[in-house]
Chains A and B, each alone.
Chain A
Amino acid sequence: MTTTRRNLFKFVGGGAMGALLTPAPWRLITDTALWSENWPGIPRPARGEITTRFTHCTLCPAGCAVRARCVAGQPVSLTGVNPHPISRGALCPWGIAGHQLPYHPARVRQGPMREAIAAIERAIRKRSAGERVAVLDLRPGRTVSWTYRRAMAALDGGLYVTPPQSAYAIDLAAAKTVVSFGAPLFDGWGTPGNVFAARTNFRLIQVEPVESRSAALADIWLPIRPGTEAVIALALAGEIAVAEAARVTGVDEKTLGAAKEAMAGGPVLALAADPASPLMNWNAKLGALGHTVVARRESPVPDTWKKAAPATQMAAATDGTIRVLLIDESLPGGYIPWSEIAPKLAPDAVVVAFTSSSEGYARHAQCALPTAVYPETAEDVGPAIDTVAAVFRISTPLIAAVVPVVNPGQFVSRIAGLPPSDALRERADVIHKAGSGMLIGYADGKSTPVKAVTADDFWKTLNQGGCWMDSTGKQTLPGKLEFTASAEPAQDELPLTVVATEPRRGGLESTLLSKLERESNLRLSADRVALSPVDARAGGIENGARCVFETARGRLSVAAMIDAAVPVGVVEVAGGPRVADLCGANGRARVVRA
């Protein structure tokens, strides 16, 4: 056989054919894919001893108990804790991915701490009579909230400000019918495990313009025209005719009649998306006060703390008087639109935000100081809206802070000249001394009367996996519910009603939710709005087109999605600080092509 060019090609061809009939190329494809997963620079979890630790989630006021599987001390997966009497072993998607938040790329990683202290001290020294130092606490009810209140009491002209708070708690298990006016009952309201445990015992009537997740899971969904919630309440209370209400609200008369009949089955509870909404006043007429709407209970505090400054609302502050504003945005919580804060500030006010995210008040503050994020935080979790008994639970850090952080409580104490103290331990000791309630340990699931444990063991269990829960006792009335609606001027030139369908807590987005938003579009992300086909056609807007979302307060560049499920006259947005700043309480907007 002679060696020719043709034969050489045939040899190579035969070789290629033969190679395809062996495992080699196929195996190399797999191996190369695996190799690419281990390139340098790709983070690899540590190897080491596998341990279990417990803490409490601080990402929302629910404060669910968390079991962390740790490898070499690093949490690698989070699950719920079954013995916990309120969270009942459940965690939301945000909580499940919480251990990844410290490494979030959008985290605030540095801030001018010394400059902030110097600016604050200078402003306090030079402030004129009547000018105030204020702390805005977005998550009141924590032990650090008491520290702020004590600090503001110690400062001349100190003011402790919170978002509108409810002085009531909701006993969902006692309700037979729940009329929800847009409350995201199954999508962020209350404690997930508690809500779903009570779900089998109540009928849910969801009153909401759009088919949210709670509406989809409701027994009856009343798809109203935006802004007609009060008419539904009047119809369900029998104060106006069902036919008239159906005409005004756009709800089918038969469905509205069925909802009214459903209310006859037992204790009725009314819930609103905003806990301070006037719609909550309806509970007095429903006879819910003292039964399903009860007084919120707080765990005991040392007597010396009780001389602290009272909680006030931002609206109560005099315009132009706040010289120093310290905003604790370290945990996701309520949000007051900046347009309501700005008028209260003195002309040369110093605003400092303690935050982990650049999305919220960091946009308006002169200094944004980085804080610990869950699960780096060491603090307690305030009571949730559906927690009837007083509870005390501590979020024990699972890891040390991965960036240099400021402790807001210590920072404010230093500004006010409070002596350093371990406020959590002081409060735990007072609870222990009171001697009521049970200590629930998560590792063994046992409940022990507080009287049967020593103060040191009580503290140890609280830090290593456990919570204190007071006995429920006799329910007390929460006091009168007299909320009033905020007056928002009509804006005829803005044709669309803004409906925030995705409850967002602000702060860093969950890595799990960002996948749902960015990659699958299953949830509305912060830079998208959804319009009905009718409104989109009227504005000449195509699906996915870049648009300007415009309100009386400003503009935001967004992508428009056309969704036939969105009612005509409505623009759906994801909530959050930017949208709250733009829309205020009763948002009107227009969406135009960019």
Chain B
Amino acid sequence: MIGGKIAFASGMLLALAGGWIAFPRILYRTRPQPVDFSHKIHAEKAGAKCEDCHAFRDDGTYAGIPTLDRCTSCHAAAMGATAEEKSFIDNYVTPNREPQWLSYARQPENVYFSHVAHVKLGKVKCERCHGNEGGSANLRPFQVDPISGYSRDIWGRPVNRIALRNEGGMKMDDCVDCHRRQGLEYSCLGCHK
């Protein structure tokens, strides 16, 4: 009788440990970014603001991750003595090769999202969805769920989404929650055009 309870409890404990500790670790594949970019150095030493590199085009569309020509406007030659900058110059600037950045926030193809509507009209801070990326000294490794193909940032950092408290993740639920809490309109065709 007692042996049966122990067997049941041990099976349960093993599953709980696997589901809560091992599963999140094995779910995501980690890939390094091509360059170890420091937002912090650029913000503090160069005084750069988010929109200096992550700019809006003249027609209001969002340019997203900056391309190499934006970087070379300052880094045509090395400005410091760090190994990261030297590597960047040697591997990308000199051969004029575009870095293949891995986007943490890439939405699936069936989603239309307007940055200009949220940032310029809605006055939403970048950190609201992207976290405090602008203060990071190193780029986080890019983590992707190989089953769904989505970045971990889309789902949200905690695998159970319980700890999010509406402050993380970029799933449809998160968009709807934010719109609902602020009394804004939302409909299928708003994002799935």
Binding site for B on A (CB under 8 A): 1-2, 4, 6-8, 10-19, 21-25, 27-28, 30-32, 34-35, 37-38, 44-45, 50, 52, 76-77, 443
Contacts and interface: CB of A to CB of B under 8 A. Distances in A.
- Label chain B's interface by main secondary structure: helix
B16 A77 contact: no
Given A1-B6, A7-B4, A8-B7, A15 B12 contact: yes
15 contacts: A11-B10, A11-B11, A14-B7, A14-B9, A14-B13, A15-B15, A16-B11, A17-B8, A18-B15, A18-B16, A23-B20, A24-B23, A27-B159, A32-B147, A50-B61
Contacts of A19: 15, 18-19
Contacts of A8: 7
Given A11-B11, A22-B23, 15 more contacts: A1-B2, A11-B7, A14-B8, A14-B11, A14-B12, A16-B11, A18-B13, A18-B19, A22-B16, A22-B19, A23-B20, A23-B160, A31-B148, A38-B148, A45-B109
Shortest 3 CB-CB contacts between residues of A and residues of B: A22-B19, A18-B15, A14-B11
Contacts, number: 102
Interface centre among A16, A23, A32 (most CB of B within 10 A): A23
Contacts of A16: 11, 15
Contacts of A76: 112, 193
A98 to B, nearest CB: 13
B157 to A, nearest CB: 13
B7 A31 contact: no
A527 to B, nearest CB: 28
B59 interface: yes
A34 B15 contact: no
B53 interface: no
B178 interface: no
A464 B147 CA distance: 42
Interface in B44-101: 59, 61
Most chain B CB within 10 A, of A14, A31, A44, A50, is at A14
B19 A34 contact: no
Among A1, A11, A45, A52, which residue has the most Cβ atoms of chain B within 10 A? Answer: A11
Given A10-B4, A34-B147, A52-B59, A24 B9 contact: no
B19 A11 contact: no
B20 A22 contact: yes
Contact of B16 (A11, A21, A28, A34): A21
Nearest to B26: A24
Nearest to A6: B4
A18 B12 contact: yes
A22 B18 contact: yes
Contacts of B3: 1-2, 4, 7
Given A7-B7, A22-B23, A35 B16 contact: no
B147 A44 contact: no
A50 B63 CA distance: 8
B184 interface: no
A128 to B, nearest CB: 57
Contacts of A77: 112, 193
A28 B155 CA distance: 13
Interface in B143-182: 145, 147-150, 159-161
A18 B107 CA distance: 33
Contacts of B12: 14-15, 17-18, 21
B14 interface: yes
Interface centre among A4, A13, A19, A76 (most CB of B within 10 A): A19
B124 interface: no
Contacts of A38: 148-149
A25 to B, nearest CB: 8
Nearest to A13: B8
Contacts of A45: 109
B27 interface: yes
A23 B8 contact: no
B109 A44 contact: yes
A44 B8 CA distance: 46
A52 B61 contact: yes
B148 A14 contact: no
A31 B20 contact: no
A291 B30 CA distance: 71
A22 B147 contact: no
A12 B192 CA distance: 43
- Choose among A13, A27, A37 the residue with the greatest number of B CB atoms under 10 Å from its CB: A27
A21 B13 CA distance: 10
Nearest to B159: A23
A17 B15 contact: yes
A22 B23 CA distance: 9
Contacts of A18: 11-16, 19
A28 B27 CA distance: 9
A22 to B, nearest CB: 2
Contacts of A13: 8, 11
Contacts of B5: 10
Contacts of B61: 50, 52
A10 B23 contact: no
Nearest to A12: B11
A19 B11 CA distance: 9
B150 A34 contact: yes
A1 B4 CA distance: 9
A15 B14 contact: yes
Nearest to B20: A22
Contacts of B193: 76-77
Nearest to B11: A14
Contact of B11 (A15, A23, A52): A15
Nearest to B4: A10
A275 B13 CA distance: 78
B18 A28 contact: no
A50 B24 CA distance: 35
B95 to A, nearest CB: 22
Residue of A2, A24, A38 ringed by the most chain B CB atoms within 10 A: A24
A10 B14 CA distance: 13
B19 A31 contact: no
